[in-house]
Amino acid sequence: MSGQVIVVTSGKGGVGKTTVVANIGTGLAAAGHKTVLVDADIGLRNLDLIMGLENRIVYDIVDVVEGRCELKKALIRDKRVEGLQLLPASQTRDKTAVSPEQMKELCQQLREEFDFVIIDCPAGIEHGFHTAVAGADKAIVVSMPEVSALRDADKIVGLLEASELTDPYLIVNRIRMDMVQRGDMLDVNDMTDILGLQVKVLGIVPDDQSIIVSANRGEPIVLDNRSRAGQAFRNIVRRLQGEEVEFMDLSQGGLMLRLKRLVGLAK
Amino acid sequence: MSSLLDFLNRLFGRVEKSSSDIAKKRLRLVLVQDRSNMSPEVLEELKEELIGVLTRYLEIDEVGMSVELDKSDDSVALVASIPVKSVKVRVPKIRSLEPTGVSE
Ligand SMILES: Nc1ncnc2c1ncn2[C@@H]1O[C@H](COP(=O)(O)OP(=O)(O)OP(=O)(O)O)[C@@H](O)[C@H]1O
Ligand SMILES: [Mg+2]
């Protein structure tokens, strides 16, 4: 068996990489695919917290590459979804603790066991970035509809190309349709216009307070059937499996939809 | 509230460009510049290859030659200044018959 290795990256920090990894990973596993999440943000370990698995960590990625423990022993089983595992980052070491060659080797081992290997890349364009992307077949670039995030995303698209990761997917995170409609936020079309034809939009995730709530609880929002952001992530998961899924209409996410839901005209 | 304000502004002819249009325009321009960043090594390589091609036709002053990427607000141009000493009077040979002397 040879699974697919997907790295989630952005350039700019704080745009939602870890959130995306947690949700598409959980979604893929819930759909029946054996999935492993790799936290490559060494020194700033966070994926465990978002997944609610922080209390189960014994070994981490650096222990594995330095040979202190077997890969299997370092993997943590998710508590909700069958077939989902996490390889946590080290919190005490820094980005140089894993080399690109070691990451390639690790991905090779993981793809033997799993259908999907999803890597959470650190912010920035230095060593940590080059290591995180080293073993990947495909890249997802996460960006926000905002000038600095987009400029950095463009830079990342160029660097990915130099690492032979062409035609990346784009996830637009934290879009606010009220602002788009007012002319105060770039739309998805504006973003693809700017970034060029080679990027393919994989999904659009609304800015949604429930993501913060789900992070508080350590439960990925993709499992919440009532949440719009959760729906957006479920759509992304279906597209990753090769399905054609229309983009959600986010424009009526406000009061109207809530009213319609109340009277049973929408779900 | 703000859309009412927008409406009134438009009504009284104060059409302002939306901030997303401004963002789009600014990003377009800045990315042209970002993407055109060529490392000095690559630029040097380009120069060497240019010399290789040019000397088949011209005798040029390699020392006085300059090749630069010129960035203005909304465009990037490759600007080369190449002093020509003389033009070689000959029919250029077909490429494949002669090694070009251009190194990879
Ligand atoms: N769609 C969203 N709506 C609301 N909040 C969001 C959304 N996506 C992410 N966030 C919040 O934004 C913050 C940053 O998200 P996250 O940690 O996933 O980003 P990151 O790119 O992994 O950051 P870093 O570069 O530091 O690793 C978190 O507090 C997260 O809950
Ligand atoms: Mg992160």
The span from the CA of A51 to the CA of B50, in Å, is 56
| Tokens 């600095």 -> residue | A148
Ligand 1 near A10 CB (within 6 A): yes
Ligand 1 near A207 CB (within 6 A): yes
Query: pLDDT of A223-250, one tens digit each?
Result: 999 999 999 999 999 999 999 999 988 8
Query: pLDDT of A42-57, one tens digit each?
Result: 999 999 999 999 999 9
Phi, psi of B19 (to 5 degrees): -65, -25
Subunit contact A180:B27, Cβ cutoff 8 A: no
The pLDDT value recorded for residue A258 is 60
Q: Is the CA virtual torsion A216, A222, A226, A229 positive or negative?
A: positive
Provide ipTM, 2 decimals: 0.82
**A4-263: CATH class:** alpha beta
The span from the CA of A139 to the CA of A158, in Å, is 12
The pLDDT value recorded for residue B104 is 42
Closest A-chain CA to B28: A194
Query: pLDDT of B29-62, one tens digit each?
Result: 889 888 887 777 888 888 899 999 999 999 999 8
Q: Which residue has the higher pLDDT, B70 or B18?
A: B18
Low-confidence residues of chain A, pLDDT below 70? Answer: 1, 252-267
The pLDDT value recorded for residue B65 is 87
The reply to whether A178 touches chain B by the CB within 8 Å rule is no
Q: How many Å lie between the alpha carbon of A125 and the closest alpha carbon of chain B?
A: 15
The reply to whether B6 touches chain A by the CB within 8 Å rule is yes
Subunit contact A180:B19, Cβ cutoff 8 A: no
Q: What angle do CA A171, A176, A177 make, to 5 degrees?
A: 105
Q: Which residues of A touch B27 (CB under 8 A)?
A: 147, 150-151, 194
Q: How much is the average pLDDT of B56-74?
A: 83
Give the list of residues 6+ apart from residue A175 with CB closer than 8 angstroms, or none. Answer: A144, A145, A185, A188, A204, A205, A206, A207, A250
Residue B100 has pLDDT above 80, yes or no: no
The pLDDT value recorded for residue A1 is 65
The pLDDT value recorded for residue A24 is 98
Domain map of chain B by residue range? 38-87
Ligand 1 near A40 CB (within 6 A): no
The pLDDT value recorded for residue A250 is 82
Give the list of residues 6+ apart from residue A122 with CB closer than 8 angstroms, or none. Answer: A40, A41, A42, A44, A95, A128, A129, A132
Ligand 1 near A173 CB (within 6 A): yes
The span from the CA of A33 to the CA of B34, in Å, is 40
